[in-house]
Amino acid sequence: MDETTASAPDDLVRRHAQPGRTLLAILHAIQDEAGFVPPAAVAPLSKALNLSRAEVHGVITYYHHFRTAPPAPVVVQLCRAEACRSMGSEALAQHAEAHTGCRFKQHGHASEQVHDHAGGVELESVYCLGQCALSPAMMINGTLHARVTPQKFDALLAKAVAAVARTEEAV
Ligand code: FES
């Protein structure tokens, strides 16, 4: 979902900032619906929760999970933690960058994140997907894949890109 089709930030906040809900719960709900937390939601959130804008912004940027820009149509999350590293995830990461032509999103403050959407694909590092015995592991658009080889990566990515293209054609 891009910013032109996303719900207006005020509307997102009004619907999700229900009494008794924590800021984190509201941010999760907004991102689940819109795909990201629009920067324009910070002001209405701070007003609704009686927090400063800096406090709201601080929470959004502290947690890597929250994104402040729409995701690419295909999001690849590759595990870069110990078990997967020992089974070749770094070589797989290099392969992924070479194959897709984009670079892994840098972690850090959301405002500093690199959103590289080459070919509609985004690469993201994650740290343990709970599949250590089946490493290296990765997720593509939320679907878990284990024992990923470069060949398997290419096939899974092609399948995901084709699925997105079919969905876009159907709209
Ligand atoms: S270290 Fe990669 S799934 Fe646990």
Whether residue 141 sits in one domain with residue 113 = yes
**pLDDT at residue 130, as a whole number:** 95
Whether residue 162 sits in one domain with residue 110 = yes
Whether residue 83 sits in one domain with residue 160 = yes
Whether residue 162 sits in one domain with residue 84 = yes
**pLDDT at residue 65, as a whole number:** 84
Domain assignment present for 133: yes
Whether residue 131 sits in one domain with residue 108 = yes
Residue with the two structure tokens 């593509």:
140
Q: Best of 78, 92, 129 to mutate for ligand 1, by most ligand atoms within 8 A of CB?
A: 129
Cα 66 to ligand 1 centre (Å): 21
Whether residue 122 sits in one domain with residue 144 = yes
Domain assignment present for 122: yes
Ligand 1 interacting residues, C-beta cut-off 6 A = 79, 81-84, 128-132, 135, 137
Cα 155 to ligand 1 centre (Å): 21
Whether residue 103 sits in one domain with residue 126 = yes
Residue with the two structure tokens 């999700």:
16
Whether residue 165 sits in one domain with residue 105 = yes
Q: Are 152 and 145 in contact (CB under 8 A)?
A: yes
Q: Average pLDDT of 53-75?
A: 93
Q: Average pLDDT of 143-162?
A: 96
Residue 5, pLDDT above cutoff 60? no
Distance CA 127, CA 117 (A): 21
Domain assignment present for 21: yes
Whether residue 122 sits in one domain with residue 145 = yes
Cα 47 to ligand 1 centre (Å): 40
pTM of the model: 0.77
Distance CA 59, CA 21 (A): 15
Domain count of the fold of the chain: 2
How many residues can be counted in the chain? 171
Domain assignment present for 25: yes
Instruction: State both tokens at 67.
Output: 């994104």
Domain that holds residue 144: 74-170
Residue with the two structure tokens 């890109």:
161
29-43 residue pLDDT tens: 999 999 999 999 999
Whether residue 78 sits in one domain with residue 52 = no
Whole-angstrom distance between the N-terminal and C-terminal Cα of the chain?
Answer: 13
Provide DSSP, the chain. Answer: --TTTSPPHHHHHHHH--TT--HHHHHHHHHHHHSS--GGGHHHHHHHHT--HHHHHHHHHH-TT--SSPPPSEEEEEE-SHHHHHTTHHHHHHHHHHHHS--EEPPS-GGG-----GGGEEEEEES--S-GGG-S-EEETTEEE-S--HHHHHHHHHHHHHHHHHHHHH-
Whichever domain contains 114, its CATH number is 3.40.30.10
**pLDDT at residue 2, as a whole number:** 46
Mean pLDDT of the chain: 89
Whether residue 101 sits in one domain with residue 21 = no
Q: Confirm or deny that 102 is annotated as ligand binding.
A: no
Residue 64, pLDDT above cutoff 90? no
Domain assignment present for 2: no
Domain assignment present for 1: no
Q: Best of 89, 131, 144 to mutate for ligand 1, by most ligand atoms within 8 A of CB?
A: 131
Whether residue 100 sits in one domain with residue 127 = yes
Domain assignment present for 125: yes
